[in-house]
Structure 1
Amino acid sequence: MNKLTLGGIIFTALMVLLTWLSIGGSKGGLNGDIVNMLAVAGAVALVIITVFVVIKYVRQMQNDTATGDLEEASWDDIGEYKNPVPMGWAIMFLGTMIWGVWYWTMGYPVNAYSQIGEYNEDVKAHDAKFAKKYADIQGNELIKMGESVFIAECKVCHGADGKGLDGKAANLHTRISAENVKNVVTNGSNNQLLGTEMPMPDRNGLFNMDTGAPITDAEIDVVASYVANGMQGEGADVFAAVCSSCHGADGKGMEYVAPDIAEFTPALVVNVLSHGKKGVIGKMPSFARLNDKQREAAAAYISAGLPDTDDLEGE
């Protein structure tokens, strides 16, 4: 008996022992349970077959030499022999195809009952009931609903106060940070903030209309501060010359052209929740699991202005 076979036997014995101890030591153990007994038998068979198949092919690679006629074609003088497909491989391949056809047509047809299918139908029915019940909710009631959605879905990243948990998510008390403005101006954006594919070009496509020259690093810095400060301070001239043609003189955007960068709007928040958003600090996923009314409510709550930390502590 060579070292390879001996090592395989020792490894198999160890794996079988660990499997037995794991199942036997679990709550309930075997206790005559046919399901557990079959699971152990299957695990043992899998370990034994795997180990000795590996041993067989390792020994075959160590000792066998290829024989037969070479194919005419070669790649860098590396050719293939005209050897037939091993019978075992051919049987497994055909058997897998036959099993697949049986599984999808008879064993588990695609229209058969499933717990997942039942769950999906229940969710659809609940969503329809929810949509009908809350279809007409508006105003303060919608904002209150949005607060519940925010607590359940948004505060994990944005925090209960919406300030972003030390930069791990956007601070929702300000429309946009200077860092994010610089990132968008430099790299462009295609976050579907208008609900459609309307990309903003990167800096190579942005020009100062007063000078006719591409936007500079200094202009990017100053306009980023201007936008982040709520359209106030130094940089109004750069914004007017570079950004206002799409975002408007007040930064409130233009329909079908550019989003509002002065403040959050319900439509903007709904689009972010529907499509997700990629920014300088990372990527926010979409929240497609929320229904339309839940996204509308969250958008109303955020657009109305989140409470300050002091207000939360005083409640």
Structure 2
Amino acid sequence: MNKTVLAAIIVVIAMLGFTYVAVGMAGGMGGEGDWVNKLAVLGAVVLVIVTSFVNWDGIGEYKNELPFGWAVIFLGLTIWAIWYFLAGYPVNAYSQIGEYNEAVAAHDAKFEAEHANMDEETLKEMGGSIFIVQCAPCHGLQADGIDGKAANLNARLEEKTIKDVINKGSNNQLLGMEMPMPDRNGLMNANTGALVTDAEIDAVAKYVAGGMKGTEGADVFAGTCAACHGADGKGVDMVGPSIAEFNPTLVANVLKHGKKGAIGAMPAFNNLTEAQVKALGAYVTSLSK
């Protein structure tokens, strides 16, 4: 096989791999109706193949000497590009985008200063307004999850969510750091000295979802869950998050890191200011009380 052809094949495979990774990092190929990403990837594939294999009018690598004028132009453009990015625009020149970013940063700083010491009622009021804009499209105006489309925020956890976490484990950084919960193969019931069973998972899921009331499932919780989540389920610092109720810190960590669970994936919301996150935390916490 010709070395040039072999090199082209290698380049095609590498470029397709890079394209796949880039699309994945950018959020995937999207749904079936997301033709924009699909067409972009198809265009990249065609471009790589055409560039690697099509011989334009006999011009090919290793076949013709590069014209001297082309070399001079290429070198000149390279020098100009280095100057442009290091000393020219946009570093030292006016930029509408830069001006806009500066204005937004100044406004955010002013907003943070004005709302640094809000009382609880003001926080909840602001949080309700932010919720309508940022959260209600998925969770609903009543925060009920719109018939299972998203999490019901009027209760801390539902049975299906608890079962999914127990069976699959969790690594949603609800404590603000990497503290993964093992799946069922790593959960031991201290009362029996054995791994949790399906019946025990059903019982403890009903117990936690029911507000930790009654006796059914209480022994399983005490022997399996309390060590990390506390006897009252309100969490243990640096060990496990609260599973009994929402709290502002928990809400802030979900907004910062996003969350995956039985229903699907929630993206991170990094466009909110600290005051807005605090307000949302106060509002969501108040929903389940």
Q: Same fold (TM over 0.5)?
A: yes
Q: How does the TM-score come out when normalised to structure 1?
A: 0.67
1:260 aligns with 2:242: yes
Deviation at 1:57, TM superposition (A): 3.9
Counterparts of 1:75-114 in structure 2, within 5 Å, are: 83=62, 87=66, 91=71, 97-114=78-95
Runs of at least 5 residues in structure 2 that lack an aligned partner in the other structure: 1-46
Tell whether the 8 Å contact from 1:185 to 1:202 is kept in structure 2 after alignment: yes
Counterpart residue type for residue 106 of structure 2? A
Deviation at 1:252, TM superposition (A): 0.9
Identity across matched positions, percent:
56
Question: Secondary structure, in 3 states, of the residue corresponding to 2:189?
Answer: coil
Counterpart residue type for residue 290 of structure 1? L
Which structure carries more relative contact order (alpha carbon 8 Å, separation 6+)? 2
Deviation at 1:60, TM superposition (A): 6.5
Between 229-238 and 205-214, the greater mean CA deviation after superposition: 229-238
Which residue of 2 is the match for residue 127 of structure 1?
A: 108
Give runs of ≥4 in structure 1 deviating > 2 Å: 56-61, 82-88, 90-100, 105-113
Question: CA RMSD of the aligned region, Å?
Answer: 2.9
Mark the CA change 1:85 to 1:206 in structure 2 (over 3 Å): closer, same or farther.
farther
1:297 aligns with 2:279: yes
Tell whether the 8 Å contact from 1:161 to 1:306 is kept in structure 2 after alignment: no
Deviation at 1:110, TM superposition (A): 2.8
Tell whether the 8 Å contact from 2:156 to 2:288 is kept in structure 1 after alignment: no
Name which of 149, 156, 177 aligns with 1:175.
156
Which residue of 2 is the match for residue 215 of structure 1?
A: 196
Counterpart residue type for residue 87 of structure 1? L
Q: What is the alpha-carbon distance in structure 1 between the residues aligned to residue 271 and residue 64 of structure 2?
A: 49
Larger radius of gyration: 1
Cα deviation code 1:131-175 (max 9, x no counterpart): 111111112111111111111111111110001112111001110
Name which of 146, 149, 161 aligns with 1:165.
146
Deviation at 1:217, TM superposition (A): 2.1
Deviation at 1:86, TM superposition (A): 6.1
Q: How does the TM-score come out when normalised to structure 2?
A: 0.73
Cα deviation code 1:81-138 (max 9, x no counterpart): x9468637x9597576445324313552434322221111111111111111111111
Tell whether the 8 Å contact from 2:232 to 2:244 is kept in structure 1 after alignment: yes
Cα deviation code 1:234-286 (max 9, x no counterpart): 21111111101111111111111111101111221111112211111111111
Question: Secondary structure, in 3 states, of the residue corresponding to 2:265?
Answer: strand
Cα deviation code 1:214-248 (max 9, x no counterpart): 12222222211221111134211111111011111
Which residue of 2 is the match for residue 250 of structure 1?
A: 232
Q: What is the alpha-carbon distance in structure 2 between the residues aligned to residue 208 and residue 86 of structure 1?
A: 76
Runs of at least 5 residues in structure 1 that lack an aligned partner in the other structure: 1-49, 67-81, 308-315
Which residue of 1 is the match for residue 207 of structure 2?
A: 226
Question: Secondary structure, in 3 states, of the residue corresponding to 1:185?
Answer: helix
Q: What is the alpha-carbon distance in structure 2 between the residues aligned to residue 128 and residue 135 of structure 1?
A: 10
Counterpart residue type for residue 250 of structure 1? D
